[in-house]
Amino acid sequence: MTIRIFSISFENSFHSRGSAGGGYFCDVIKYTLKMMTVKKEERKRVLIVFPTEWDRSQLDRCQERWRGRYEVLFSDPSDEDCPFDFDIMGFIDSMVRQHGGRIHGVMSSSDYPGATAAGAIASRLGLPGASPARLIRASHKYYSRLVQRRAVPEATPSFALIDPSRPGVLLPEIPFPCFIKPVKGAFSMLARQVGSPEELSAFLGQPAVGEFVCDYMGIFNRLVKEFTDFSFDGRYFIAEELLVGNQITVEGYCRGGRVEFLGVTDSAMYPGTGSFMRFDYPSACSPGTISRIKEIARRTVSALGLTDTLFNIEMVYNPGRDSIHLLEINPRMCGQFADLYQKVDDVNGYETALAIASGEWLPPPGKGGFRIAASFPLRTFTEVRTVAAPDDVRIRRAEALFPGTLIWNECQTGEGLGEGLILEDGMSRRYAVINMGGPDSKVLQERLEKVRECLGYVFDRVDSAKNCRP
């Protein structure tokens, strides 16, 4: 027999642990009362559109925390299998017809096109969720920057729109070197530093760029046309002044006009690159800096008009100048970080996402089993062939070395890696991710090396016969 939690007559949202006025302790009381008041009836059904591997892995590993309250449905296609010419409006219509009156919420951790599609379906069905127009405004880097410049001018870098067909037309306030990226992308696709007008023109003239703006952006362009009156769709790039400092990510949610937070995570890069090496939670920034980061995020999310959605915002903190600048806003959860919060704060990000999507109560944070947690992307920086990749049995064996370890394998034996470097961060290709918890950073690094050894990845460089063990 399944159970569902009653609604009770308290305010229908929770303060985060950092809220003022002792809100956290009130939340614990409210949540406890709610868990004591149950009714034997159907669980809340939540549809996940364009599901990712993060969704399936994370939800499976924390199912004991949500299965009594939610029934999760996955749509087809997955995020990975969505073709560039997919009929996104037909998909939205189909989901509305198929699930109208049968679900209590819809969500997606997919950056593209999942988040906007979920918002459109929710709007059509009268379910909790941000409107597709506001989701597009938040994720379109140029229009989002325009809102940021009004709401948090002190945290918004200089920027200019670039038409790839006219790369020489660049506003004078953006000097070289500068950073360029598509106005809509994912996984740092086609994002990089350029040092001169000639380098910019050469980069934008590459076939991969043309394929990206003409093919990959097709779905986004249809969404822009359907839900906004924007003059510029996804066929453009944006140039921004270079930001120097430590990259951080703040993740949170907005509901009922309030913006609350899951946490702030530090990012570290592989030396001499812009490729992510690890993400550490909680951030090592001072409490004062964390407060400023959250205030910038709160003002930005409010100005964008987002509601009933999770978000993650990337920022750069320069300790020398004590400055904070916005990098970009993603109006969705970060599936990769979901279990990091559980390890430290005893709340998985997917618990929060399911509650936001269905209008349910949010679980209050507590004390997890680890003092810190980290996510480690494993990468190759050269074109290689996969000589050996772990199977499921070996992955489970590696996960069993240390409690709380989660592993995502992203390559298969015999697969070539590296041909698509330009379509990732321009320097590397990710082949696995390892999430772990521990007492301190040194111990985590030691555990990481043991897990990597157990996984047994072996690669051959394409340009030589020498084995490469990353």
Encoded tokens for 72: 């999760």
Q: What is the 3-state secondary structure (H, E, C) of 240-282?
A: ECCCCCEEEEEEEEEECCEEEEEEEEEEEECCCCCCEEEEEEC
**Cα distance between residue 185 and residue 119, in whole Å:** 18
CB of 427 within 8 A of CB of 433? no
CB atoms within 10 A of CB 420: 12
Domain positions in the chain are: 4-130, 158-240, 246-468
* Predicted confidence pLDDT, tens digits, the chain (470 residues): 333 332 222 233 333 344 434 454 455 455 445 444 434 457 999 999 999 999 999 999 999 999 999 999 999 999 999 999 999 999 999 999 999 999 999 999 998 999 999 999 999 999 999 999 999 999 999 999 999 999 999 999 999 999 988 866 656 668 899 999 999 987 678 888 999 988 998 999 999 899 998 899 999 999 999 999 999 999 999 999 999 999 999 999 999 889 999 999 999 999 988 899 999 999 999 999 999 999 999 999 999 999 999 999 999 999 999 999 999 999 999 999 999 999 999 999 999 999 999 999 998 899 999 999 999 999 999 999 999 999 999 999 999 999 999 999 999 999 998 765 555 666 888 999 999 999 999 999 999 999 999 999 999 998 643 444 45
Side chain identity at residue 208, one-letter code: A
pLDDT tens for each residue of 87-112:
999 999 999 999 999 999 999 999 89
Among residues 387, 455, 377, 385, which one has the least CA distance to residue 418? Answer: 385
Encoded tokens for 103: 């679900």
280 alpha-carbon distance from chain centroid: 15
Report the DSSP beta bridge partners of residue 162.
237
Q: How far is CA 50 from CA 122, 161, 209, in A?
A: 14, 29, 24
CB of 433 within 8 A of CB of 384? no
What is the dotted CATH code of the domain comprising 246-468? 3.30.470.20
- Topology of the domain comprising 158-240: Dna Ligase; domain 1 (3.30.1490)
Q: Return the DSSP state at 51.
A: -
Side chain identity at residue 200, one-letter code: L
**Cα distance between residue 78 and residue 50, in whole Å:** 4
What count of Cα atoms within 13 Å lies in the side-chain half-sphere of residue 7?
A: 9
Q: Return the DSSP state at 406.
A: E
What is the pTM (predicted TM-score) of this model? 0.89
**Cα distance between residue 239 and residue 174, in whole Å:** 7
Helical ranges in 165-314 per DSSP H: 197-204, 207-211, 218-227, 287-304
CB of 252 within 8 A of CB of 261? yes
Supply the DSSP string of 412-461, one letter for each residue. -TT-EESTTGGGTTSS-EEEEEEEEEESSHHHHHHHHHHHHHHHT-EEEE
What is the dotted CATH code of the domain comprising 4-130? 3.40.50
